[in-house]
């Protein structure tokens, strides 16, 4: 958890420092060749692109993820849909309570590295679907975390993908 706080503090400080306009609005910025607004956009979206990459490290192997006592949780196929390439067996999505996410190829059980389907850090982890229909607290957690995950993780993905540029 301490690594997470240090990383988010560093990202916040860098964003504040770099968000200060340099040069004029139409030419120079922190990124040579970018206009002011394009440079500002890159800095404002850094939490989504570069921030997630910085936080989604130290991922397990498939065997580590499924091992007894593992802190990784396998999500349902429905909760993994954005990470499935549609080829062969369905990909397997595991989440960790600290926000990390690991996606394994359903056929080879190796970590997915394709930017379109790779695991990304979750600022709000989705909650697993409750096993019992009458688990009111479980359904409340599922709905609340689902909304947070939608706003902070799914919508940014829908707007910009997993990596900057084409993906």
Structural domain contains residue 143: yes
pLDDT at 161 (0 to 100): 84
Report how far residue 91's alpha carbon sits from residue 84's, in angstroms, rounded to the nearest whole number: 5
Residues 78 and 151 in one domain: yes
What pTM, to 2 d.p., does this model score?
A: 0.70
In a domain, 53, yes or no: no
Residues 85 and 116 in one domain: yes
Nearest to 98 by CA among 58, 144, 146: 58
Query: Does residue 140 lie in a domain region?
Result: yes
Nearest to 36 by CA among 22, 56, 16: 22
- pLDDT higher than 90, residue 91: yes
In this model, does residue 131 exceed pLDDT 70?
yes
Phi, psi of 111 (to 5 degrees): -60, 135
Q: Is the pLDDT of residue 29 over 50?
A: no
Model pLDDT for residues 31-45, shown as the tens digit of each residue: 455 677 777 778 878
Is 121 part of any domain? yes
Regarding whether 131 and 97 lie in a shared domain, the answer is yes
Domain range holding 39? 2-44
Domain match, 116 and 72 both:
yes
- Which has the closest alpha carbon to 82: 15, 153, 26, 10? 153
Q: In what order do the strands lie in the sheet with 92-96?
A: 72-74, 92-96, 101-104
The pLDDT confidence band at residue 88, using thresholds 50, 70 and 90, is: very high
């Amino acid at each position: 958890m301490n690594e997470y706080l240090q990383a988010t503090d560093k990202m916040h400080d860098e964003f504040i420092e770099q968000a200060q306009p340099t040069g004029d609005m139409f030419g120079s910025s922190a990124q040579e060749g970018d206009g002011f607004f394009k440079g500002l956009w890159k800095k404002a979206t850094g939490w989504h692109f570069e921030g997630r990459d910085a936080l989604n490290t130290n991922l397990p192997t498939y065997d580590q993820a499924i091992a007894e006592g593992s802190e990784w949780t396998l999500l349902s196929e429905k909760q993994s849909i954005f990470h499935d390439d549609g080829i062969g067996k369905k990909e397997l999505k595991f989440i960790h309570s600290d926000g990390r996410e690991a996606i394994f190829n359903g056929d080879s059980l190796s970590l997915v590295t394709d930017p379109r389907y790779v695991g990304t850090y979750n600022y709000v982890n989705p909650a697993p679907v409750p096993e019992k229909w009458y688990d009111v607290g479980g359904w409340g957690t599922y709905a609340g975390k689902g909304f947070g995950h939608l706003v902070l993780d799914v919508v940014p993905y829908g707007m910009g993908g997993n990596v900057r540029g084409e993906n």
